[in-house]
Chains A and B, each alone.
Chain A
Amino acid sequence: MSPEGGYHKKILHVDLTECKTHVETVSDEFALKYIGGRGWGARLVWEHMKDDVNPLGPDNIIVIAPGPLSGLYLPAAGKTSFCSISPATGIYGDSNLGGMFGVELRMAGFDAAIIKGKAPELSYLWIDDDDVQIKSAVKYMNMGSIETEHQLREDIGDETVKVATIGPAGENMVKMACITADWGRNAGRTGMGAVLGSKNLKAIAIRGTKDLPVADLPSLTRISDKAFKKLKQHNLFEFWQRQGLMSVIDYANASGIIPTHNFMDAHFDKAEEINGDVMELNYKIGDSACYSCPMACSNVNLVKDGKYAGTVIEGPEYETAAMFGSNVGISDFDAILRANYLCDEYGVDTISSGSLISVMIEAYEKGMVSLEDLDGVALKWGDDDAIMDLIRKIALREGVGDTLADGVYGVIKRWPQLAPLISHVKGLEQSAYDARIAITMALGYATSDIGAHHARAWPIAKELEMGGNWSLEEKADLVIYHQTVRPLFDMLGVCRLPWIELGFDENTYAEFYSAATGIEFTLDELLKRSDAVYNLTRAINIRLGLSRVDDKPPERVFNDPIKTGPHAGKALNREEFERILDIYYQRRGWDNDGIPTNETLKENGLEDVIEYMEQRRAGK
């Protein structure tokens, strides 16, 4: 099968050490088997990695991969994945951002880029269609992400150039550093910004002018026209444009799953002061959409008065508002916007930094760290000045910030007593959905290939809806279903929100992909490929030493019952969790240690992975 569209079948290779670039033509088989986006990314990481890889060493690669649907005329076609070995977790990591950046890479004629090595000085990559250059970025050293993007466009002399960049945090290899594009769109999780920083790569600027290959454009247009119409007719469509993900604050608080005071509680009594209505009425000055997206879920906000007046930022969305709101005890939306702005400008993930800052507040409150540990600054819930200061210290690795910048494992190494306070899986701080009332969410976090991240599986809404009376088998299946369908969106290079939020039929994506490639695909076939990628990232992690003991939710979900709200008194049962984990492994086709069986790998067409897994089973 040879796709007549969807792909340029070209990967740009950049070796920063050698200061060389070349273009690889990929086979049809590779293109279709791993689809694209994080599917390609995972496969390329598997092929290029060494078992003793140092995530911040020159050997580690980072793959930039939009998908075969990125840039095409269909709803929300603007996602790009960054895949690598994560410096935060030491295992496979990826993160994606929306907007225009990945589309521009595709328009320059590349489906993906692989970056390896380390530049001798701070550099940026300039991709002007086929012309690729590595240029000095010394003048942008320590410059914020938003400012760098601005300055680079001005220096290149083209306002339409698309830029992805790291801030000072990435340069300082802060393990929660993100990659930022389109002035504040972030690939936030797993420290992808630190990987770029370790390579001395400040930014990537792209100008692409080429047509995107589509096998059957009239069909694609016809399906898309219908798809856009359907989305616009949804009764929540307009509300989505107005509040986007900020509407989740009310939902999460009412459902008793909003992280509060470092996940000690799951209900915030001041949630109404930081919700979507507050934003819409007092702060919102505009909408912002990813490429070809009618939902425009991003909100541009302005702080009009007070000490943060003049702060303009695209954001927050739910996660940021919760992590820098309820989770650190802030009920002032001005301060949330400021924290969002600082994180974007310094290039720090809001979920991870919000989480570790809340850990320090709780630790200090409980007398588990001293004032000296905090550089003499007392911490308390809702103290926005101290919190802003901590964001800066993390990014610049100052004082206590230097420890926080080393992520979960860095904090535990210095203060082992704080381990029970940190909500994380495999070193990645938990997203802003509490898991104590939803075993599916806990299982999703525990078995996620990158750590405790909600985008891999978000079964919590369904579990809340279903109530208590359904079997662990069904629950495990729901998690596996999420872990199969959600990554597919990342592989295709599109956003999952039209599906999850506006009930858009996932079968349509098979139609889009068929029209793009000219080959008939069913959703089922695509999901099988997605499943294979999940097994592949599992295999990467097992190669890197992961085992069953790492598949556990944050300790807090077992030990500390929720204090207030609709689920007060509830916590997760440890034995029940072990039971569902057994069931999950079984249904995934993994052995009892969580290693994919040979049959499973064969079914997935991952024959070359079997040898590694055999070695692991033999205890080598």
Chain B
Amino acid sequence: MRKKLTVIPERCSGCRVCELVCAISHTGVNNPKKANIRVISLYPHPVIKMPIVCEQCKKPKCRDACPTDAIVKNDGVVTILEDRCVSCHACVNACPIGAIFVHEDIEIPFKCDMCGGKPKCAESCPKKAILYVPEHTQGQAHRLGAALKYANMQEVEYYEHGVKKKLRYAEIETGGTRGDSE
């Protein structure tokens, strides 16, 4: 049974423990900017904290974009082959979710390798916002979220600088799964 990483942004507190453990285990240095996972925090309205991690796509766009065939997929894991890579960063730009990273100190782009089947990020997340789950359950979080959203969704109207606005959100505590914000 193949497993995948999935994230539940509503649970994420933005603590970056995932980045730290990833960087330490892969590069041996204390530097979250060398991690294969990133937490994006946006503010103010509403607060979004979103861990971005490689989805190991079935048809990887990064692979398609690579001019030197340096990207391969083995056993469900998309890997960049160091000896073939020319660091053109075409893969970085091709990734639809921005899950390939670069850092000045590191010659080739880097990305999630699932830690050989025991992803450290999922293991250490204090909020259980990163899960390592069987592939066939993918989307379940979205489905649950959609159902919850249907059941619990509320709307608020408010005024900002005299302009009437609406805010929609899903009840987070009851669901604990992916809701929607806009």
A241 within 8 A of B: yes
A296 within 8 A of B: yes
Question: Which of B12, B15, B29 is close to A211, meaning CB atoms less than 8 Å apart?
Answer: B29
A287 B13 Cβ-Cβ under 8 A: yes
> Restricting to A239-281, which residues have a CB under 8 Å from any CB of B?
241, 280
CB 8 Å contact bits of B135-163 with A (1 = contact, 0 = none):
00000000000000000001011111000
A370 within 8 A of B: no
> Restricting to A287-333, which residues have a CB under 8 Å from any CB of B?
287-296, 298, 300, 302, 304-305, 309-310, 312, 314
For the complex, give the distance between the alpha carbons of A150 and B47 in Å. 13
Question: Which of B17, B28, B34 is close to A217, meaning CB atoms less than 8 Å apart?
Answer: B28
- Which residues from B are CB-within-8-Å of A314? 47
Question: Among A71, A280, A286, which residue has the most Cβ atoms of chain B within 10 A?
Answer: A286
For the complex, give the distance between the alpha carbons of A551 and B124 in Å. 46
A183 B43 Cβ-Cβ under 8 A: yes
For the complex, give the distance between the alpha carbons of A434 and B42 in Å. 38
Determine how close the nearest CB of chain A comes to the CB of B182; give it in whole angstroms.
Answer: 13
> Restricting to B1-55, which residues have a CB under 8 Å from any CB of A?
10-17, 20-21, 24, 28-31, 33-34, 40, 42-47, 49
- Which residues from A are CB-within-8-Å of B84? none
B127 within 8 A of A: yes
Choose the segment among B62-70, B75-83, B85-93, B167-175 that binds chain A (4+ C-beta atoms closer than 8 Å).
Answer: B167-175
- Which residues from B are CB-within-8-Å of A290? 15
Determine how close the nearest CB of chain B comes to the CB of A231; give it in whole angstroms.
Answer: 8
A214 within 8 A of B: yes
Number of chain B residues whose Cβ lies closer than 8 Å to a Cβ of chain A: 42
Determine how close the nearest CB of chain B comes to the CB of A274; give it in whole angstroms.
Answer: 19
Question: Among A72, A73, A280, which residue has the most Cβ atoms of chain B within 10 A?
Answer: A73
Question: Among A211, A212, A232, which residue has the most Cβ atoms of chain B within 10 A?
Answer: A211
Question: Which of A210, A221, A298, A300 is close to B31, meaning CB atoms less than 8 Å apart?
Answer: A210
> Restricting to A139-171, which residues have a CB under 8 Å from any CB of B?
146, 149-150, 159-160
Determine how close the nearest CB of chain A comes to the CB of B15; give it in whole angstroms.
Answer: 4
In the complex, which residue of chain A has the Cβ closest to the Cβ of B125? A294
* Residues of B that sit less than 8 Å from A by CB: 10-17, 20-21, 24, 28-31, 33-34, 40, 42-47, 49, 103-105, 124, 126-127, 154, 156-160, 165, 167, 169, 172-173
9 A-B interface contacts by CB (under 8 A): A71-B30, A73-B24, A73-B30, A159-B42, A209-B105, A217-B29, A287-B11, A296-B13, A310-B45
* Residues of A that sit less than 8 Å from B by CB: 71-73, 100, 107, 146, 149-150, 159-160, 183, 208-212, 214, 217, 220-221, 228, 232, 241, 280, 284-296, 298, 300, 302, 304-305, 309-310, 312, 314
